[in-house]
Amino acid sequence: MSPESPAAPAPSTIGPELTAADPVRMSVIGLGRLGRLHAENVAGRVPGARLVRVVDAVEDVARAQGERLGVPWSTDPADALGDDVEAVVIVAPTPLHPELIAQAAAAGKAIMCEKPIASDLTAGRRAADAAEAAGVLLQIGFHRRFDPAWAHARERVRVGELGEVQLFRSQLWDQRAPAASFLADSGGLYLDVTVHDLDCARWMVGEVEEVTAHGAVLVDQEIAAVGDLEIGVVTLKFASGALGIIDNGRSAVYGYQASGEVLGTQGAVRIGDDHRIHDLQWRTPEGARTDWQGDFQTRFAPAYVAELEAFARAVRGGPATGATGADALAAQRLAAACERSRAERRTVVVAELDDDGA
């Protein structure tokens, strides 16, 4: 690996330069925790984008955010698809995604939709088809693709700096398990959490042919009660012959973790392993300590801005650097294969599953 290798441009800086003089006009549908973050980012942290409208089904929420951000608000998604809007960011509940994507596509708007694209593959496939048929951009919110560390590593892995990839490792652990009510509708650990690593595996290394999945509930019986897993381990076999291992957990008390490693015949790269909040080391009689990041919004704050920047550039004709609808469906299908593998206690060849994951 040559130290002279020119750093690849970050995905968020590829494509036409955006100017504050002519920003991409965006609306946001859905103003929950993540929706508010997207709306704030569009409004004030993405130089080439301007927030023009916010929508939430709950009137008080829509009004409060609209007033705070200085834009018109509404409870009707159709208002987010008007003539003053070029692109829409969909952060509504998952069951609404397919219909909202279809409406936005029909209105000719570029679409960024949070993951997962749909609750089931059949609906997801229809939504992706609608966008494609309408010829509109559809980007799915796999934000890790825009994390500076992951993106930079991926570029250098793809051009061969590590030689032939032998092993992919990835870890994603939340700090605290979501409420049981959320878990019940989450689609399960593999679809809700592992799917990020599965997308990442495809994006970093290539297609996955086989999965073998395990899972356990050791402590939190509420998780077992809704039929979900507390921790999971997935082994991958890539089409290239390389192997992969993913581990996930709902609750890493010591802090949110999203890290990985790619090992190749000429070197290895470790990604996102140092979850310090600040570049500080506290040295006390108890040892040398760094403070640890608590959640994904802190860890991936720059990634959430960068994914909107990349989306804006793509809207203006740049290449689509984010996950496409097809990428979203592929990752979701792998998650379905993991479920089957665990249920049947055997390795599952992904090709066994039909397009709807059955």
Which residues in 78-117 contact a second copy (CB under 8 A)? none
Q: Report the distance separating Cα 200 and Cα 51, nearest Å.
A: 29
Enumerate residues 30-89 that contact a second copy by CB under 8 A: 40, 43-48, 51, 67-71
Rounded CA-CA distance 56/281 in Å is: 42
Residue (182 or 282) nearer to a second copy, CB? 282
Return d(Cα 260, Cα 171) in angstroms, integer. 6
Cβ closest to a second copy, residue 268 vs residue 330: 268
Pairing of the two strands 257-264 and 268-271: antiparallel
Matching residue, tokens 């993405």 = 46
Query: Cα–Cα distances in Å, from 165 out to 84, 157, 328?
Result: 47, 8, 23
The answer to the question of residue 275 lying near a second copy (CB under 8 A) is: yes
Q: Is 231 in the site for a second copy (CB under 8 A)?
A: yes
Q: Which of 255, 254, 136, 262 is nearest to 201 (CA)?
A: 262
Q: Are 347 and 234 in contact (CB under 8 A)?
A: no
Please report whether residue 346 would count as binding a second copy according to CB under 8 A: yes
When binding is defined by CB under 8 A, the residue of 8, 14, 75, 152 that contacts a second copy is 152
Query: At closest approach, how far in Å is the CB of 17 from a second copy?
Result: 8
CA 329 to chain centre: 13
Report the alpha-carbon distance of residue 11 to residue 203 in Å, rounded: 13
Three-state SS letters, 180-216 = HHHHHHCCCHHHHHHHHHHHHHHHHCCCEEEEEEEEE
The answer to whether 237 contacts a second copy (rule: CB under 8 A) is yes
What gap in Å lies between CA 159 and CA 209, rounded to an integer?
Answer: 22
Taking residues 301 to 340 in sequence order and writing x for each that binds a second copy by CB under 8 A, - otherwise, the string is: ----------------------------------------
**Near a second copy in 121-150, by CB under 8 A:** 148-149
Contact 310, 133 (CB under 8 A): no
Question: Judged by CB under 8 A, which of 279, 317, 351, 354 binds a second copy?
Answer: 279
The CA-based diameter of the chain, rounded to the nearest angstrom, is 64
Binding mask 195-214 for a second copy (x = CB under 8 A): -----------------x-x
Distance CA(90)–CA(141), nearest Å, equals 10
Among 6, 83, 179, 286, binds a second copy (CB under 8 A): 286
State which of residues 145, 169, 202, 333 lies at the interface with a second copy (CB under 8 A).
Answer: 169
* Residue of the chain from 59, 76, 185, 273 that contacts a second copy (CB under 8 A): 273
Taking CB under 8 A as the binding criterion, the range among 26-34, 96-104, 196-204, 240-248 that sits at the site for a second copy is: 240-248
Residue 224 near a second copy by CB under 8 A:
no
Using the rule CB under 8 A, give the single segment among 29-37, 85-93, 197-205, 238-246 that binds a second copy.
238-246
Check residue 153 for interaction with a second copy (CB under 8 A).
yes
Q: How far is the CB of 260 from a second copy (least distance, A)?
A: 10
